[in-house]
């Protein structure tokens, strides 16, 4: 996902593999992971000639926000979970949240 989020546009499996060259991944491995991401509806795939191009369904920020909502939904006491979260972040981030809410 990091490679797709950092890209300027849709990427082929080969382009994703090249971006991950330091990991020495087989093309089949990259295709398997991209296929799983597509089944989880995190990426979309479009055909262009013989190649498929992959792109994220949502931005990184939207994805993180969804994960945060999921975590809150799993908490039996949302208020307590939010209070613990706010107590765990630095003062400048708490101030930024206050500004956003204000």
Question: Which H helix or E strand runs over 65?
Answer: helix 60-74
Model pLDDT, residue 69: 95
| Angle value at C-alpha 56, between 67 and 81, nearest 5 degrees | 5
The verdict on domain 2-56 having CATH code 3.40.50.2020 is no
pLDDT tens-digit readout, 62-90 = 999 999 999 999 999 999 999 999 999 99
**What is the percent of the chain where pLDDT is above 70?**
100
Give domain limits for the chain: 2-56, 60-101
Averaged pLDDT, 4-21? 97
Does this model's pTM top 0.75? My answer is yes
């Amino acid at each position: 996902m990091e490679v797709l989020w950092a890209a300027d546009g849709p990427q082929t499996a080969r382009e994703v593999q090249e971006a991950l060259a330091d990991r020495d991944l087989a093309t089949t491995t990259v295709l398997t992971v991209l296929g799983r991401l597509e089944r989880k509806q995190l990426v979309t795939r479009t055909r262009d000639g013989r190649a498929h191009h992959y792109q994220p369904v949502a931005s990184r920020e939207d994805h993180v926000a969804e994960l945060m909502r999921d975590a809150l939904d799993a908490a039996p006491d949302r208020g307590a979970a939010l209070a613990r979260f706010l107590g765990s972040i630095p003062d400048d981030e708490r101030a930024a949240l206050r500004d956003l809410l204000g």
